[in-house]
Amino acid sequence: MITKSIPNMFTLGNLALGMIAMMMALNEKFSMAAIMIIIAMLLDGLDGRVARALHVQSEFGKELDSLSDVISFGAAPALIMYMVTLQVLPDPIAWSATAIFPMCGALRLARFNVRKGMPGYFTGLPIPAAGGVLATLSLFHHEISGTYMIIAMLLLSYLMVSTVRYPNFKKVGLPKKVVIGAPIVIVVAVAIAVVFPDQISKLIFIPLVIYAVYGVKQSIERSLRRRNHKKKEEDSLHSDR
């Protein structure tokens, strides 16, 4: 019974960190709020792998994971961005952008949950990656204007519900020995993040953006290859005539 609960404890930890991130954002502790999102990403990446390592996967855990993700990577990053930048903009614009992000995240999760099987790629930008980009992007509010922040927010929202393919690392399993050491890794990560919140958050921003851009780049290249292939077929048909 305890073994079955271990993955859910990781998932609930993810949800708790999302709530803490929102409270920190309301208290204008934006760097720490972003750190909470990053640590929540770590827990989110572990819960499924722990479940598979312990052979305790369940539909309950899958649904709990999605519900937690909407909070931690949908609502919390949107609130952080609103508190940092968007609230100084006209209310209709700020409210719309803030609401659209978690809505698209929820649609992305619903589509993932009803999809049968687990291919080697994600369709649409995964919400943890989108939420991580948004939360860490908010820390650059001194360098980036609110207009560009909204554009980035809407672009991330679109990528979540798009058909752009992203690499799927969920199939990478963990041996039981690693599962046992996971809490230690989390504690060390939290300690480092708390000491250097601003630096760690901005550092994590880079690989997250690379991941988001990579899917778009691959999608464009696939589209060009298909177009060139189609053109070659048409040219071949014309030459045969």
pLDDT tens profile 87-132: 888 889 999 999 999 999 999 999 888 876 556 788 899 999 999 9
The letter for the amino acid at 19 is M
Q: What is the pLDDT of residue 75?
A: 96
* 3-state SS assignment for residue 167: strand
User: Do 6 and 50 meet the contact criterion of CB atoms below 8 Å apart?
Assistant: yes
Residue with tokens 């929540």: 40
Q: What is the pLDDT of residue 7?
A: 86
Q: Return d(Cα 165, Cα 215) in angstroms, integer.
A: 6
Name the range with the highest mean pLDDT among 98-112, 137-151, 180-194: 98-112
Name the range with the highest mean pLDDT among 39-48, 55-64, 103-112, 201-210: 103-112
Asked if the model's pLDDT at residue 139 lies above 90, the reply is no
Q: What is the pLDDT of residue 82?
A: 94
Q: Which carries the bigger pLDDT value, residue 2 or residue 69? A: 69
Q: Which carries the bigger pLDDT value, residue 171 or residue 78? A: 78
Q: What is the pTM of this model?
A: 0.84
Q: Return d(Cα 120, Cα 165) in angstroms, integer.
A: 9
Q: Return d(Cα 124, Cα 81) in angstroms, integer.
A: 21
From the list 221, 61, 85, the residue with the least C-alpha distance to 149 is 85
From the list 142, 112, 139, 107, the residue with the least C-alpha distance to 208 is 139
Q: Return d(Cα 219, Cα 25) in angstroms, integer.
A: 35
The CATH number assigned to the domain holding 156 equals 1.20.120.1760
User: Sorting pLDDT into bands at 50, 70 and 90, what band is 237?
Assistant: low
From the list 167, 180, 154, 194, the residue with the least C-alpha distance to 31 is 194
Name the range with the highest mean pLDDT among 78-92, 157-171, 196-210: 78-92
Token representation of residue 120: 């080697």
The structural domain count of the chain equals 1
Beta bridge mates, 237: none
Token representation of residue 185: 């890794």
Domain around 150: 2-240
